[in-house]
């Protein structure tokens, strides 16, 4: 008898053994302290002054001259320092010097080289010069490219594959060095825009303005062709008339025409300094094979440096020990004092030691980790919105009780971007200058109920657009005067969409009564091209079809991949499309140029996706472009807005309102949609964070214990009956 | 009404035709009749078959497409809408049209989230608005809806019982005629579960499903039984419409690959030599490419084709249908190799058997040996692989939709529903009904298919059990 | 034996060539080099010259399969296909279209994949075999019947539900492990628990049922009856004979998947943000990085073929009657 039990026992133990193993594993990885079990970071880091955030898409380029997307600026903005920056607190957005001593003033010259007045006639201007002086004594981050030996020779400037055999990452170089920031580094970077090996997205645009950039590019590519196999061209050896070094701390940029928006570009990382040592260092043989490139390991003067670059897992920024220290702004908008944003005024930045960005491709885990306290800030995806935010009786957004209990804070800001639906003006049915097409477009403009769209798909986080210019950009008019009379009327205190009957009337006038073509009686079929294919896209497609069905129009959604969509846009074979634009800089020119005729997608490969062309508008655009903000400019802008509203090449769509959440231990949060270098202003209180985390993440065990218990209970009768059977067979 | 026949519709009806032919063929051949007879005696399998039959009927109804007529206009000639409906849509009635603004919970009368509402006195307030259709017949849903729902469930139950008793009577009557016994006796036999064919299980399953269907039907008149989705569409409707997609993927994929698999498998096993080498090379090569990559590339390929021939596709349904067909084909390409290999091995064995050798000696042509002697003897393998693959393919659709290489996003499918519902899980309070509906519908189908295929496999080949 | 293996390896060559041609054609019908350039260069303000430059740098400006403008042999060699595919055979994967060294990436991302797949496989075998054995042991009783029904039920649930459910329950509700992510070294363990668990539960249905039938078949054999007749207890028969003999088909079945463990799991990795080769592949597809896709397909094929060869060898080891020729 006893013999059998012995044999059976290990069998039962199989299950408890598995659960024990599971327990052991858990214990192993969490250690024996009190800290939460689901902490995705090492526990010893909890008390450190580290900022935690996530990123969803790996950066493609970290070379400041090629990078042009916000997910790259998150890192680059902290590392590289262009001459100018936006003031962190002040609104409207204001440019202030970063490495420059002061904001450069444009000097206008005519053909003879005579200095002109600021308001000189456009036709007489031949050259515009910006002289920029940078602060002395700015140092680069420690980097092997600067490392020198005792005799002053660069340590790592004669590398080859053999010497690199033990090097796998930048951190494997033993010695690092630094040097002072010089004016020639800025000029070097401007020259890199024309480098045949580097792709700069703005080189085409800048070639229009910076003197001689085009010729310079040709010269460089000729040099490259003549010397095949050379990986490094020392740009200091070649002259670019548009960018010249004057002395160690001064350089001069010359434009071939007046371009007031140029200053904004000077705050973007395209114009960050690039030391020639770094360029040379990375271009040595064998480096690219090791993935050690300038595109991967930035070298800057900013408050932070990239210490770990593993976009499959995480990106780590660490405090740059050589950073000169910059003072937190001591003045801001009214109200900033009260909200504590000036508490740190004049203190030396940066405040945090390290910033860890973890890869999160799925929005749900990212959101849940934020709630558990493992990310310091978070946006709100549409589906977790109701959990986080509710609207009070006045219709203002406020946090739900759950969030308030956790001490989470909410920030909102109307973004300087626009999300619109465009008509291809080159299309036969929907486009063109005919009255029939215009009425059709206007009927659709009224019908597609963006208020509903915003409330369903963006949880009310958007402002219906009245024209191309978003609020917060010069030229936008608020209130009754600012509504689009073709779509809205003013009722009481808010704009109200015209009735659907009005739209139907317009449609009938256009020759499509009840959505049927009066020439052949067929139902009107329109096509919407969209590259969207995510989980949420079906819902929005269904909604869009519902809108057009109100007019009796059958909308066919042509969902394609992104490349095909782009191709259709280039060829102009799309009919209706959805698109958006995010401002490069806070100036109306950056929105109107999306409708400027010579910028059409077709033939010109520009950014005017609707291929809109209107002579009057184009002329006004050229006039508006070089004006400075004031009532005169506003008058021109009003005229332009009226023209495009009448033609309705876009459904103006809406301006998204950005909602962001942060925990109470995260200080100095203020939405700034233009600045990219905001990490240095941020402060963290790690103690509060550690406490909250362990409060929120108490492991719950009983369901697992219950499960194991149930399994045992279920198995017990079988074992008993088996034992009885065995006993019987022996008897 | 102007009928439209999509490619998949045509193939589905071809499949139905083939099944009918097979049934007639099988009735006349003992070696096929016997295993089916065996299957019919298994209660679990026959219950599963009833469930499958209901799904298939829904799928077939949804495969009869047409352009509905538009309301009469001034002009005399009739005009058809460019949109496409199916007979199933007629059966489901207003379910499709009854859309709310956005989310609403199952059987709710109020919306899921608060909204700004204009009061009659011009003021605004923030509250849960009444739904346009769900519980619209009630005056005070807050207090009445529970009672009303119970009442409707009860009515549905009664109706269901009535219909199932009529059905029971009908079946008993037919059986008594067929067995030439009295009505009472048959009834008693059914009660005692005394038939070779598992009638009792079938009748119980049928009654239960009928009761569930009548309850749901009854409730659906007044409520959204499974709630509504983000844009206010009825989730029940989507789940029902997804049935066709699931069935098409599960069956057409096999149909598309069968000719290749059978032909290649037989040829490789029968001819051996270089033909065998070539065919083996072909399937090893195809097999060694990771399937997902092959599918992804092919779906992109199709999108290019549709993009370049945009004018040939007038409706969203046509595009979706082509993509569905293409998905079936490409899934077929990645899955035919398994069957082909099995057939090859079996044929290698069969060709050594006396009567094949004899036929060769008599100079019978290779083609007719393959068709008349080999093919019938491997059909059980084909049969088994069809039923086993079915459930796997239905499940695969969901996974493919997750990585955006499944069916067209505009098409109703469980994969698309799950994919959309992933994000809803993060809502608080949680929006669970889309996921639940997709889960229930898919689970029932796959479970039924698994149970049925187990029985088929056991009946046809007890040796091939694994 | 060695000559057999050598022959099998030689046989693998034409297969790999075929695989290469198929992926190549599929990808280039869909993606012109122009598309790839645009995808890599970003979306705002991309000029034609930049595209041409990009193609030149990566050799995508050459004809795809046949270069009619070149001299004799170069007609074949000076093409995108030749330049990009031949190097794969010596496992030189070259650089991805975004400029990273693929071999380096693969050697890094292989480990997270293995950290998920290897424990999944081992724990899975342990769990499924013991479940299967339990069901076989109690065959015919309510444990067996309800166990089999449970298996069929679990098989009928889409794997996505397990992932979504597991993440919701264990990660969010019970706070036992991090919801997603990964770390290096020992810190990785807590991240792997949830994906491994989800993988285990997802596979229970099909595997347990399969193993149960294997054990049942084994139990029906003559030697078991003889052993019982000798008076050995059932438990002892089960452990000493049935388990050992049943393991043979199970383990030989496992051998074929061993090499492909390197490839990781596409869905699990992207759901749990694990930086393995599975998510590498998915990313490459969505970013249309042809160089990576091609390398991964090639690697997958090689591993698959190795798996086939290993299976054959394991058969001879297990059963001396099988001769390879």
For residue range C45-75, what is the model confidence (pLDDT) as tens digits? 566 777 777 777 777 777 766 666 666 666 6
Q: Does A683 map to a domain?
A: no
**Mutating which of B51, B242, B285 best tests the C interface, going by the most C Cβ atoms within 10 A?**
B285
Whether the per-residue pLDDT at A530 is higher than 80: the answer is yes
How far is A227 from A221, CA to CA, in rounded Å?
10
Q: Counting one residue from B and one from C, how many pairs have CB atoms under 8 Å apart?
A: 100
CATH number at residue A104: 3.90.76.10
pLDDT band at A30, cuts 50/70/90? Answer: very low
Q: Stretch A270-295: mean pLDDT, rounded?
A: 88
CB contact C267 to A (< 8 Å): no
3-state secondary structure of A684: strand
Joined together, the tokens standing for residue A99 give: 């490495």
Answer yes or no: are the C-beta atoms of C262 and C114 closer than 8 Å: yes
User: Cβ contacts of residue C316 below 8 Å, gap of 6+?
Assistant: C1, C322, C323, C324
Contact list in A for residue C241 (CB cut-off 8 A) is none
**Chains contacting chain B through 3 or more C-beta pairs under 8 A:** A, C
CATH number at residue A581: 3.10.105.10
How far is A370 from A381, CA to CA, in rounded Å?
12
Residue with tokens 């040592």: A277
Contact (CB<8Å) A363/B316: no
| Residue B455, min C-alpha distance to chain A (Å) | 27
| Residue B121, min C-alpha distance to chain A (Å) | 14
Whether the per-residue pLDDT at A299 is higher than 80: the answer is yes
Q: Does A636 map to a domain?
A: yes
Of A456, A532, A559, the CB nearest to B230: A456
- Selected residue with higher pLDDT from A471 and A16: A471
Contact (CB<8Å) B404/A382: no
**Mutating which of C179, C193, C196 best tests the A interface, going by the most A Cβ atoms within 10 A?**
C179
Answer yes or no: are the C-beta atoms of B203 and B87 closer than 8 Å: no
Least reliable range by pLDDT among A233-237, A463-467, A532-536? A532-536
Q: Counting one residue from A and one from C, how many pairs have CB atoms under 8 Å apart?
A: 174
Note whether A8 and A134 are same-domain residues: no
Q: Stretch B404-418: mean pLDDT, rounded?
A: 84
Whether the per-residue pLDDT at A3 is higher than 60: the answer is no
Domain boundary among A276, A291, A306: A291
- Selected residue with higher pLDDT from C67 and A281: A281
What is the CA angle B321-B327-B329, rounded to 5? 105
Which structural domain range is residue A567 located in?
Answer: 417-658
pLDDT band at A461, cuts 50/70/90? Answer: confident
Q: Does A181 map to a domain?
A: yes
Whether the per-residue pLDDT at B465 is higher than 50: the answer is no
Whether the per-residue pLDDT at A1 is higher than 60: the answer is no
Percent of chain A with pLDDT over 90: 39
**Mutating which of A453, A559, A563 best tests the B interface, going by the most B Cβ atoms within 10 A?**
A559
The crossing angle, in degrees rounded to 10, of helices A537-549 and B414-424 is 100
Of A363, A386, A533, the CB nearest to B404: A533
B window 17-46, beta carbon within 8 A of A: none
| Residue C71, min C-alpha distance to chain B (Å) | 32
* β partners of residue A304: A319
Cα atoms in the Cβ-side hemisphere of radius 13 Å centred on A345: 12
- Among chain A residues, the shortest Cα distance to B71 is held by A514
Joined together, the tokens standing for residue C17 give: 């060539």
* β partners of residue B115: B127
Residue with tokens 């310091």: A376
Whether the per-residue pLDDT at A357 is higher than 90: the answer is yes
Residue with tokens 């490419």: B289
Q: How big is chain C by its Cα radius of gyration, in Å?
A: 25
Contact (CB<8Å) C44/A562: no
Joined together, the tokens standing for residue A535 give: 């989980």
Range B241-464 has CATH code 1.10.3720.10: yes
| Residue B118, min C-alpha distance to chain A (Å) | 12
Mean pLDDT of chain B: 84
Q: Does A519 map to a domain?
A: yes
- Selected residue with higher pLDDT from B87 and C230: B87
Contact (CB<8Å) C181/A7: no
CB contact C320 to A (< 8 Å): no
Whether the per-residue pLDDT at B73 is higher than 60: the answer is no
Contact list in C for residue B292 (CB cut-off 8 A) is 266, 281
Contact (CB<8Å) A25/C189: yes
Whether the per-residue pLDDT at A18 is higher than 50: the answer is no
Domain boundary among A244, A266, A291: A291
Q: Stretch A91-111: mean pLDDT, rounded?
A: 91
Joined together, the tokens standing for residue A120 give: 């000189």
Q: Could you count the other beta carbons within 10 Å of the beta carbon of residue B450? A: 23
Q: What is the DSSP letter of A516?
A: B
A502-537 b/e with 16+ CB inside 10 Å = b?
A: bbbbbbeebebbbbbeeeeeebbbbbbbbbbbebbb
Note whether A146 and A263 are same-domain residues: yes
pLDDT band at A639, cuts 50/70/90? Answer: very high
The crossing angle, in degrees rounded to 10, of helices B235-271 and B273-288 is 150
Of A60, A358, A700, the CB nearest to C175: A700
Overall number of domains in chain A: 3
Contact (CB<8Å) B289/C297: yes
Q: Stretch A195-211: mean pLDDT, rounded?
A: 86
Contact (CB<8Å) B297/C26: yes
Contact list in B for residue C266 (CB cut-off 8 A) is 292, 403
How far is B418 from B413, CA to CA, in rounded Å?
9
pLDDT band at A202, cuts 50/70/90? Answer: confident
CB contact B428 to A (< 8 Å): yes
Note whether A15 and A158 are same-domain residues: no
Answer yes or no: are the C-beta atoms of A653 and A420 closer than 8 Å: yes
Domain boundaries, given as residue ranges, for chain B: 141-220, 241-464
Of B287, B300, B466, the CB nearest to C30: B300
pLDDT band at C76, cuts 50/70/90? Answer: low
Note whether A10 and A128 are same-domain residues: no
Note whether A111 and A27 are same-domain residues: no
Mean pLDDT of chain A: 85
Whether the per-residue pLDDT at A571 is higher than 90: the answer is no
Q: Does A653 map to a domain?
A: yes
Considering the entire predicted model, what is its pTM?
0.80
Task: Dump pLDDT digits (tens) for C239-249.
Answer: 777 888 888 88
- Report the pLDDT value the prediction gives residue B78, as an integer from 0 to 100: 66
Whether the per-residue pLDDT at C234 is higher than 80: the answer is no
How far is B438 from B99, CA to CA, in rounded Å?
19
Whether the per-residue pLDDT at B74 is higher than 60: the answer is no
Which one, of B97, B413, B99, lies nearest residue B227 by Cα?
Answer: B99
Q: What domains, with CATH codes, occur in chain C? A: 2-90 (no CATH), 110-318 (1.10.3720.10)
- Report the pLDDT value the prediction gives residue A567, as an integer from 0 to 100: 78
How far is B331 from B338, CA to CA, in rounded Å?
12
Domain boundary among A246, A265, A291: A291
Contact (CB<8Å) B292/C266: yes
Answer yes or no: are the C-beta atoms of A660 and A637 closer than 8 Å: no
Note whether A705 and A614 are same-domain residues: no
Containing H/E element for B223? none
Contact (CB<8Å) A561/B229: no
């Amino acid at each position: 008898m006893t013999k059998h039990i012995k044999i059976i026992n290990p069998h039962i133990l199989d299950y408890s053994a598995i659960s024990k193993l599971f327990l052991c594993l858990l214990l192993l990885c969490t250690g024996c302290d009190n800290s939460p079990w689901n902490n995705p970071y090492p526990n010893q880091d909890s008390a450190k002054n580290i900022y935690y955030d996530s990123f969803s898409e790996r950066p493609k380029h970290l070379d400041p001259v090629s990078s042009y997307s916000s997910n790259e600026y998150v890192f680059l903005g902290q590392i590289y320092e262009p001459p100018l920056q936006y003031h962190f607190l002040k609104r409207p957005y204001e440019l202030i010097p970063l490495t420059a001593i002061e904001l450069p003033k444009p000097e206008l010259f005519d053909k003879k080289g005579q200095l002109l007045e600021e308001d000189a006639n456009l036709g007489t201007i031949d050259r515009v010069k910006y002289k920029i002086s940078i602060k002395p004594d700015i140092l680069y981050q420690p980097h092997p490219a600067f490392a020198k030996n005792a005799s002053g020779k660069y340590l790592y400037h004669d590398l080859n594959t053999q010497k690199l055999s033990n090097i796998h990452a930048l951190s494997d170089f033993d010695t690092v060095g630094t040097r002072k920031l010089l004016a020639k580094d800025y000029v070097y970077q401007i020259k890199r825009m024309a480098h045949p090996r580097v792709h700069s997205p703005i080189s085409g645009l800048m070639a229009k303005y910076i003197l001689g950039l085009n010729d310079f590019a040709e010269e460089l590519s000729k040099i490259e062709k003549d010397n095949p196999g050379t990986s490094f061209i020392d740009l200091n050896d070649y002259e670019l008339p548009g960018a010249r070094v004057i002395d160690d701390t001064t350089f001069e940029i010359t434009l071939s025409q007046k371009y007031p928006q140029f200053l904004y570009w000077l705050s973007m990382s395209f114009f960050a300094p690039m030391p020639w040592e770094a360029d040379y260092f990375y271009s040595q043989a064998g480096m690219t094979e090791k993935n050690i490139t300038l595109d991967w390991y930035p070298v800057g003067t900013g408050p932070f440096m990239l210490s770990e670059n593993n976009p499959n897992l995480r990106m780590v920024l660490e405090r740059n020990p050589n950073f000169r220290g910059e003072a937190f702004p001591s003045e801001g908008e009214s109200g900033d004092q009260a909200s504590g944003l000036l508490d740190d005024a004049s203190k030396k930045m940066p405040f945090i030691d390290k910033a860890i960005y973890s890869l999160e491709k799925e929005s749900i885990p990212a959101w849940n980790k934020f709630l558990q306290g493992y990310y310091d800030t978070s946006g709100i995806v549409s589906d977790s919105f109701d959990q986080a935010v509710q609207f009070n009786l006045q219709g203002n957004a406020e946090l739900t009780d759950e969030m308030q209990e956790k001490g989470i804070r909410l920030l909102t800001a109307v973004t300087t971007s626009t999300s619109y639906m465009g008509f291809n003006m080159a299309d036969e049915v929907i486009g063109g200058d005919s009255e029939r097409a215009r009425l059709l477009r206007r009927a659709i403009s009224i019908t597609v109920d963006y208020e509903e769209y915003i409330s369903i798909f963006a949880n009310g986080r958007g402002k219906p657009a009245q024209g191309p210019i978003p609020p917060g950009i010069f030229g936008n008019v608020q209130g009754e005067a600012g509504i689009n009379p073709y779509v809205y009327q003013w009722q009481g205190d808010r704009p109200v969409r015209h009735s659907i009957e009005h739209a139907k009337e317009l449609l009938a006038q256009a020759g499509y009564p009840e959505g049927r073509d009066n020439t052949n009686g067929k139902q009107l079929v329109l096509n919407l091209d969209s590259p969207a294919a995510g989980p949420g896209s079906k819902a929005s497609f269904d909604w869009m079809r519902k809108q057009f069905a109100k007019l009796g129009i059958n909308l066919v959604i042509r969902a394609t991949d992104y490349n095909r969509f782009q191709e259709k846009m280039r060829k102009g074979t799309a009919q209706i499309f959805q698109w958006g634009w995010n401002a490069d800089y806070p100036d109306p020119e950056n929105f109107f140029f999306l409708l400027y005729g010579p910028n059409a997608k077709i033939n010109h490969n520009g950014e005017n996706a609707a291929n809109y062309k209107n002579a009057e508008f184009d002329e006004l655009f050229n006039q508006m472009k070089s004006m400075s903000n004031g009532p005169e400019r506003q008058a021109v802008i009003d005229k332009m807005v009226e023209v495009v509203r009448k033609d309705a090449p876009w459904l103006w769509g809406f301006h998204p309102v950005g909602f962001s959440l942060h925990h109470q231990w995260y200080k100095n949060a203020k939405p700034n949609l233009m600045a990219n270098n905001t990490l240095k202003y941020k402060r963290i209180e790690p103690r509060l964070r550690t406490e909250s985390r362990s409060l929120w993440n108490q492991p719950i065990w009983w369901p697992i214990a219950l499960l194991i218990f149930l399994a045992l209970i279920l198995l017990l009768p079988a074992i008993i009956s088996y034992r009885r059977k065995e006993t019987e067979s022996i008897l | 009404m102007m009928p439209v026949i999509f490619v998949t519709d045509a193939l589905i009806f071809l499949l139905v035709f083939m099944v009918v032919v097979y049934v007639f063929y099988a009735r006349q051949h003992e070696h096929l009749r016997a295993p089916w007879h065996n299957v019919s005696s298994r209660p679990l399998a026959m219950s599963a078959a009833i469930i499958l039959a209901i799904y298939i009927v829904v799928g077939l109804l949804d495969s009869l497409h047409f352009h509905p007529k538009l309301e009469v206009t001034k002009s005399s000639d009739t005009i058809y809408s460019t949109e496409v409906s199916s007979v199933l849509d007629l059966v489901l009635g207003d379910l499709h049209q009854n859309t709310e603004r956005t989310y609403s919970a199952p059987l709710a009368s109020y919306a899921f989230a608060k909204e700004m509402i204009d009061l009659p006195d011009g003021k605004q307030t923030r509250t849960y608005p009444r739904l346009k259709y769900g519980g619209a017949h009630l005056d005070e849903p807050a207090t009445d809806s529970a009672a009303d729902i119970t009442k409707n469930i009860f009515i549905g139950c009664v109706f269901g019982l009535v219909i199932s008793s009529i059905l029971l009577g009908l079946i008993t009557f037919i059986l008594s005629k067929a067995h030439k016994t009295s009505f009472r006796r048959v009834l008693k036999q059914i009660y005692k579960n005394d038939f070779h064919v598992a009638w009792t299980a079938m009748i119980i399953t049928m009654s239960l499903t009928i009761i569930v269907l009548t309850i749901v039907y009854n409730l659906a008149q007044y409520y959204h039984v499974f709630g509504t989705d983000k844009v206010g569409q009825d989730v029940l409707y989507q789940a029902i419409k997804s049935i066709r997609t699931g069935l098409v993927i599960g069956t057409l994929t096999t149909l598309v690959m069968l000719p290749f698999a059978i032909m290649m498998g037989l040829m490789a096993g029968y001819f051996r030599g270089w033909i065998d080498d070539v065919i083996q090379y072909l399937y090893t090569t195809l097999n060694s490419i990771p399937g997902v990559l092959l599918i992804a590339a092919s779906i992109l390929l199709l999108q290019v084709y549709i993009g370049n021939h945009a004018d040939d596709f007038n409706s969203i349904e046509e595009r979706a249908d082509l993509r569905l067909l293409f998905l079936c084909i490409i899934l077929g390409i990645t899955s035919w190799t398994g069957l082909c290999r099995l057939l090859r091995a079996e044929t290698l064995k069969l060709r050594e058997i006396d009567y094949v050798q004899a036929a060769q000696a008599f100079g019978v042509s290779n083609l007719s040996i393959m068709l008349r002697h080999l093919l019938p003897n491997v059909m059980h393998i084909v049969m088994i692989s069809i039923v086993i693959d079915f459930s796997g393919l239905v499940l695969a659709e969901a996974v493919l939709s997750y990585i955006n290489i499944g069916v067209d996003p505009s098409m109703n499918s469980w994969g698309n529903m799950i994919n959309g519902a992933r994000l809803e899980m993060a809502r608080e309070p949680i929006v669970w009904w889309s996921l639940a509906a997709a889960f229930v519908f898919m689970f029932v189908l796959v479970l039924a298919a698994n149970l049925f295929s187990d029985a088929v496999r056991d009946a046809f080949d007890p040796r091939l059990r694994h | 034996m060695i000559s057999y293996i050598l022959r099998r390896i030689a046989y693998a060559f034409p297969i790999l060539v075929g695989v290469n041609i198929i992926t190549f054609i599929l990808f280039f019908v869909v993606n012109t080099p122009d598309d790839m350039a645009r995808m890599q260069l970003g979306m705002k303000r991309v000029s034609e010259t930049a595209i041409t430059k990009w193609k030149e740098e990566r050799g995508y400006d050459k004809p795809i399969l046949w270069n009619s403008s070149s001299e004799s042999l170069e007609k074949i060699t000076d093409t995108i296909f030749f330049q990009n595919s031949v190097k794969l055979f010596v496992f030189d994967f070259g650089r991805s279209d975004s400029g990273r060294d693929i071999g380096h990436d693969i050697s890094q991302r292989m480990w997270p994949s293995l950290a998920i797949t290897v424990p999944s496989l081992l724990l899975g075998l342990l769990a499924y075999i013991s479940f299967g054995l339990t069901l076989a042991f109690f065959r015919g009783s309510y444990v067996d019947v309800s166990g089999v029904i449970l298996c069929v039920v679990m098989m009928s649930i889409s794997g996505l539900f397990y992932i979504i459910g597991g993440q919701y329950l264990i990660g969010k509700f019970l706070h036992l492990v991090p919801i997603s992510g990964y770390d290096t070294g020992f810190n990785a363990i807590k991240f792997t628990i949830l994906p491994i668990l989800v993988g285990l539960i997802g596979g229970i249905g099909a595997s347990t049922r399969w193993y149960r039938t294997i054990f049942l078949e084994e139990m029906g054999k003559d030697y078991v009856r003889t052993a019982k007749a000798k008076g050995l207890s059932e438990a002892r028969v089960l452990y000493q004979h049935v388990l050992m003999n049943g393991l043979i088909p199970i383990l030989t079945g496992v051998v074929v998947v061993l090499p492909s463990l390197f490839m990781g799991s596409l869905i699990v990795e992207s759901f749990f943000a694990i930086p393995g080769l599975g998510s590498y592949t998915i990313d490459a597809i969505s970013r249309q990085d042809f160089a990576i896709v091609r390398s991964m397909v090639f690697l997958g094929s090689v591993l698959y073929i190795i798996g086939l060869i290993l299976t054959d060898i394991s058969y001879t080891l297990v059963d001396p009657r099988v001769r390879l020729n």
